[in-house]
Chains A and B, each alone.
Chain A
Amino acid sequence: DQQVKQNSPSLSVQEGRISILNCDYTNSMFDYFLWYKKYPAEGPTFLISISSIKDKNEDGRFTVFLNKSAKHLSLHIVPSQPGDSAVYFCAASSRTNAGKSTFGDGTTLTVKP
């Protein structure tokens, strides 16, 4: 049972436009949701997080939206830049299972110049 799912393996957008990456989850006990970016031959890099008690968190060009009733979150990147091309992972964690983050399989974002 995959508790965190990223249903789109890939996404391609034009430079300057909005990128929207989606993530669905099944476990209502998750307390935090996080997004990571991964370039080839590097480890994932933490981007942004959101607590389950909030519905939006913004950091520069990155905004994460959380819809608890739908068990859905999304990462918006505006404007998209070619350097944003990477694999993006959605992750979730719960205080009742401390230290464990559950990751989705990732979405490969390609931003075309």
Chain B
Amino acid sequence: EAGVTQSPTHLIKTRGQQATLRCSPISGHTSVYWYQQALGLGLQFLLWYDEGEERNRGNFPPRFSGRQFPNYSSELNVNALELEDSALYLCASSLVREEYGYTFGSGTRLTVV
């Protein structure tokens, strides 16, 4: 069974540009989560999508947005990139039961120069 896949693996953008990150969940998982991990820090919750709807959002500005498609894949968009947006962006999927935990992808390393 394929795990959570993310693309691209690495992305280099210039300050002010837009970045688009993509995620495909495990087959059968309807929930997709996005997390940001800055260097040396823990994971910060960005967004949760379930059944095509945004269900919850972390403390990030509106220039962080996304969507979930009918096949449950998801896209994270970051507009007006700032240098501090440089981080590892992790996507995860799950069955919607808290105690089962998430299955994470390997992440997209975004570098803003």
A contact residues vs B (CB 8 Å cutoff):
4, 6, 31-32, 34, 36, 41-47, 49, 51, 89, 91, 93, 95, 97-106
Contact = CB atoms under 8 A, between A and B. Distances in A.
A95 B98 contact: yes
A34 B92 CA distance: 15
B95 to A, nearest CB: 12
A103 B58 contact: no
Contacts of A95: 98
A89 B103 CA distance: 14
A102 B45 contact: yes
Contacts of A102: 45
Size bin of chain B's contact surface: 20 to 34
Contacts of B40: 105
B50 interface: yes
B106 A103 contact: no
Given A44-B102, A46-B100, A47-B101, 8 more contacts: A32-B99, A36-B104, A44-B43, A45-B104, A97-B56, A99-B50, A105-B40, A105-B42
List the 4 closest A-B pairs by CB distance, nearest first: A43-B104, A46-B101, A99-B48, A103-B42
Contacts of B42: 4, 6, 89, 103-106
Interface in B38-78: 40-45, 48, 50, 55-56, 58
B106 A31 contact: no
A43 B101 CA distance: 13
Contacts of B104: 36, 43-45
Contacts of B90: 43-44
B30 to A, nearest CB: 12
B25 interface: no
26 contacts: A34-B101, A42-B106, A43-B92, A43-B106, A44-B90, A44-B102, A45-B104, A46-B100, A46-B102, A47-B101, A49-B99, A49-B100, A49-B101, A51-B99, A89-B43, A91-B43, A93-B98, A99-B31, A99-B55, A100-B45, A101-B33, A101-B102, A102-B45, A103-B43, A103-B44, A105-B40
